[in-house]
Amino acid sequence: MRVLVFNAGSSSLKFGLFEGDRQIFKGSFDRFREGGCDLSFEGAEGPLEQGRAPHADLAAAIAAVPGVLAERGLDAIDAVGHRLAHGGTEFTGPARIDDAVIARIEALTPLAPLHNPAMLEGLRLASRIWPDLPQVAVFDTSFHLTNPARATTYAVPPAWRDAGLRRFGFHGTSHKYVAQRAAEALGQPLSDLRIISVHLGNGASACAVQYGASIDSSMGMTPLEGLVMGTRSGDIDPGAFGFLQRHLGLGVAAIEAALYSDSGLKALTGSPDMRDVEDRAAQGDAEAQLAINLYAYRVRKYLGSYAAAMGGVDAVVFTGGIGQNSASMRRRICDGLSFMGLMLDDDRNRAPDLSDRAAPQIQAQGSRVAIVVTETAEQLMIAREVRAMLQRPALAPRPVPVAVSGRHVHLSEASVQALFGPNYRLTEGAPLRQPGNWVAEERVTLEGPKGRLERVAILGPLRPRTQIEVSRTDSFALGIDAPVRNSGQLEGTPKVRLIGPAGTIETDGLIVAARHIHTNPAEAEAMGLSDGEMVEIEVQGADGRGLVFSHTLVRVVPGTVTEMHIDTDEANAAGISGHVDGAVVPHVQAVPRA
């Protein structure tokens, strides 16, 4: 499939043509102004042309693309993908464009007033030029919709939150790509890794990617929050708005414009370009030296905070113009982080080879944390998402039985002996729906700093490592912050006390189990599902309330029975009591989500 990808802005247009993962053409029209713009074209083998073009705005530039491609025999296109900055909370994945989707994107304009309008214009123009081709929007924010409420919620009045004030995160397409690329380079499944992705360019952000899912991002409701950027401030006290209004007479619009366009490196040094800043710092410029120290310090703070949020880190990945090109900035950021097992190798760091989308490792021998450098490929990621969406098999309308899992534990052999006595064997009780699984007749007590949970069920068979699954409400009853994890992902989980009739143990492994679907290869194929895929399940409760459970993991294992597992909190939210079936639904449903 040949996919044309557009990234439209108010002053530029970037586009790429992909055949599978191979980029066969790359073009840009930059700095629109009266009289024309700059152009740059590059083929699969390298640069083709640079110079000037007579296109003074986005409409003229997009209208010129068919001719540019036709001149090179590349006008055979199967689909068009578009980067959209903001998809709010409802666009959890790519969306095929129709009038209803456009209207929903337009409604999100107040959340991204500097980005979405130009991107929407580009989408409309492309739809008119290629009316018979599927047009697909891919959203920067979608990757971050797995962020938990504690990462997305501002502590502000309810009316503000009801109006849509919350953290979203951006650069999602970049963070998703580099996390996947780093996992490939490390030779490990992304689902086993805790990665901090650091995108440093004119726009800059950090993202905590825990076992394949974004759990936090430095950008917030807008792309202003977080790291210092080329012309954007990054984190700033909200009280600055009142101060500037009282002392300088500035209105909200003027302050906001300055924070977007006249802050960051530009405000500190006069130049938004880190290359200029580093050159001036080397010549003794004190302002440039401060800017570099501030820039690195802010990134280092986020690295530390995200390592804490994930209970550790396996890899840090640098990307973006600064992240991939500035060896000195990588060094400044990494210095002082040896306490968390992160150590840089100076020789590897000086000139990593990034050709052919390489992702070299630059950590020192003995470093417990891998350090990876790679060039981001947002257009490639968009092409992949478009291709995956259009080639996804149709979902067969099969019901998915929903099982509500109460609090329970999976014990190891050592834990059984410690809790019930030497050579003790659990008594198999009632069988569970999944073949070979059962509920033991014995029970244990869980104890935390706040309280106890009595008569907690034990599920068999035994496991190599003890795992304790509770609901979010249960974790508050215990007084322990249990993270949401997939079963088996127990690194960095908190400890809880287990009390049995013969003894007591303190063990880690306490989690809130992420919702998931068990199924077998035959039924997965019939439903168009694959192992490791994230899907959405619509469930109607007995009281008529309905919810779509997003980001539901599919586990395909031979011999299993199709069944969705949720916890008691999720069941209560959906009004579920007794037997209920769910249904796999397409992406991007305009209905409430849990």
Token pair 């990307």: residue: 319
Determine the Cα–Cα distance for residues 540 and 546; give it in Å rounded to an integer: 4
Confidence class for position 591, pLDDT limits 50, 70, 90: very low
Q: How close are the terminal C-alpha atoms of the chain, in Å?
A: 35
What pLDDT, on a 0 to 100 scale, did the predictor assign at position 535?
87
User: For residue 397, what are its two tokens?
Assistant: 């309308």
Nearest by Cα to 118 from 59, 72, 77, 176? 59
Residue 154 lies in a domain: no
pLDDT over 70 (residue 331): yes
- Strand-pairing partners, residue 139, are 84
Share of the chain above pLDDT 70, in %: 97
Among 171-185, 196-210, 501-515, 568-582, the minimum mean pLDDT is found in 568-582
Confidence class for position 592, pLDDT limits 50, 70, 90: very low
Alpha helix stretches (DSSP H) within 283-431: 286-310, 320-325, 327-334, 346-350, 378-391, 413-420
Domain final residue pick, 478, 513, 548:
513
Q: How many helices (H) and strands (E) does the chain have?
A: 19, 28
- Strand-pairing partners, residue 513, are 485
Token pair 């992705």: residue: 197
Comparing 312 with 396, the larger pLDDT belongs to 312
What angle is formed at CA 311 by the lines to CA 308 and CA 314, rounded to 5 degrees? Answer: 100
Q: 451-486: string of b/e by CB count within 10 Å (b at 16+)? A: eebeebbbbbebbeebbbbbbbebbebbebebbbbb
Domain final residue pick, 493, 513, 533:
513
Determine the Cα–Cα distance for residues 489 and 469; give it in Å rounded to an integer: 12
State which H helix or E strand residue 124 sits in. Answer: helix 116-129
Same domain membership, residue 448 and residue 330 = no
Same domain membership, residue 433 and residue 371 = no
CA distances, 430 to each of 403, 407, 458, 580 (Å):
15, 16, 11, 21
CATH of the domain at 525: 2.40.40
Same domain membership, residue 531 and residue 488 = no
Determine the Cα–Cα distance for residues 85 and 261; give it in Å rounded to an integer: 18
Binding residues for substrate: 83
Nearest by Cα to 201 from 295, 291, 107, 118? 295
Residue 370 lies in a domain: yes
Domain final residue pick, 464, 492, 513:
513
- For residues 17 and 25, the answer to whether their CB atoms sit within 8 Å is yes
User: For residue 183, what are its two tokens?
Assistant: 């996992």
Determine the Cα–Cα distance for residues 245 and 252; give it in Å rounded to an integer: 8
- For residues 558 and 516, the answer to whether their CB atoms sit within 8 Å is no
What pLDDT, on a 0 to 100 scale, did the predictor assign at position 47?
80
Q: At what angle do helices 286-310 and 327-334 cross, to 10 degrees?
A: 60
CA distances, 376 to each of 28, 107, 170, 214 (Å):
17, 30, 14, 17
What pLDDT, on a 0 to 100 scale, did the predictor assign at position 398?
81
- pLDDT tens-digit series, residues 66-124: 999 999 999 999 999 999 999 998 898 899 999 999 999 999 888 888 788 999 999 99
Burial class of residue 214 (count of CB atoms within 10 Å of its CB; 0-12, 13-18, 19+): buried
Same domain membership, residue 317 and residue 298 = yes
Residues 289-311 have a mean pLDDT of: 97
Binding residues for Mg(2+): 7, 378
Q: Is the peptide bond before 521 cis (omega within 30 degrees of 0)?
A: no
Same domain membership, residue 525 and residue 501 = no
Comparing 239 with 542, the larger pLDDT belongs to 239
Residue 156 lies in a domain: no
The total number of structural domains in the chain stands at 4
Burial class of residue 56 (count of CB atoms within 10 Å of its CB; 0-12, 13-18, 19+): middle
Residue 135 lies in a domain: yes
Same domain membership, residue 353 and residue 325 = yes
Determine the Cα–Cα distance for residues 415 and 527; give it in Å rounded to an integer: 39
DSSP, collapsed to helix, strand or coil, labels residue 306 as: helix
- pLDDT tens-digit series, residues 365-385: 999 999 999 999 999 999 999
What pLDDT, on a 0 to 100 scale, did the predictor assign at position 586?
61
Nearest by Cα to 354 from 376, 330, 379? 376
What pLDDT, on a 0 to 100 scale, did the predictor assign at position 589?
36
Nearest by Cα to 27 from 50, 2, 55, 59? 50
User: For residue 310, what are its two tokens?
Assistant: 């994930």
Comparing 276 with 394, the larger pLDDT belongs to 276
Determine the Cα–Cα distance for residues 181 and 491; give it in Å rounded to an integer: 22
What pLDDT, on a 0 to 100 scale, did the predictor assign at position 52?
94
Average model confidence (pLDDT) across the chain = 93
Same domain membership, residue 194 and residue 55 = no
Residue 8 lies in a domain: yes
Same domain membership, residue 239 and residue 95 = no
What pLDDT, on a 0 to 100 scale, did the predictor assign at position 395?
65
What pLDDT, on a 0 to 100 scale, did the predictor assign at position 551?
86
pLDDT over 90 (residue 476): yes
- pLDDT tens-digit series, residues 387-439: 999 987 766 678 899 999 999 999 999 999 999 999 999 999 999 999 999 99
Residues 194-210 have a mean pLDDT of: 97
CATH of the domain at 35: 3.30.420.40
Binding residues: 7, 14, 83, 199-203, 273-275, 378
Tell me which amino acid residue 414 is.
A
Where in the sequence numbering do the catalytic residues fall? 140
Residue 280 lies in a domain: yes
Tell me which amino acid residue 476 is.
F
Taken as a whole, the chain contains a residue count of 594
pTM: 0.89
Burial class of residue 202 (count of CB atoms within 10 Å of its CB; 0-12, 13-18, 19+): middle
Same domain membership, residue 502 and residue 430 = yes
Same domain membership, residue 75 and residue 33 = yes
Strand pairing report for 370-373 and 315-319: parallel
Same domain membership, residue 115 and residue 8 = yes
Confidence class for position 547, pLDDT limits 50, 70, 90: confident
What pLDDT, on a 0 to 100 scale, did the predictor assign at position 348?
97
Determine the Cα–Cα distance for residues 338 and 368; give it in Å rounded to an integer: 9
Strand pairing report for 204-210 and 36-43: unpaired
Residue 147 lies in a domain: no
Residue 99 lies in a domain: yes
Determine the Cα–Cα distance for residues 427 and 205; give it in Å rounded to an integer: 52
Same domain membership, residue 226 and residue 107 = no
Q: Residue 427 is part of which domain span?
A: 405-513
What pLDDT, on a 0 to 100 scale, did the predictor assign at position 396?
65
